Amino acid sequence: MPNFFLVVVIVLAFIFYLFYKIQYVRSRRPMERKWLSAKSSMVLGLFVGVFGINTLLLQQTTTAYIIAAIFILYGFASMVAGYKMYKHYLPFARQEAEELDQ
């Protein structure tokens, strides 16, 4: 049963990644594009990290442990970096949206 939950999270993360990338391509505002890129980086990190956890639970070999550890570390590092970018660009994206709406 835990694997089903992880698969659902993996699929949802991939769907949200595609959603944010499509929004990124459609956006014309530079700060909004950076903000959307940060959001897509967070969900891509979630995708990779949870994929690593799922691999860790499915296969119990030394090679699988090493690869899963790399995926988990890289995925969650990407999530942290994306969150920092998100927090940094959010005020600029809001300001840009307010200026263009006026």
Domain ranges of the chain: 2-101
d(CA 28, CA 42): 21
pLDDT at 35: 95
Q: What is the pLDDT of residues 4-25, one digit of tens each?
A: 999 999 999 999 999 999 999 9
d(CA 37, CA 43): 10
Structure tokens at 45: 């990190």
pTM of the model: 0.88
User: CA nearest 71: which of 85, 82, 84, 55?
Assistant: 55
Other CB atoms within 10 A of residue 13 CB: 21
pLDDT at 1: 58
Q: What is the pLDDT of residues 25-68, one digit of tens each?
A: 999 999 999 999 999 999 999 999 999 999 988 888 999 999 99
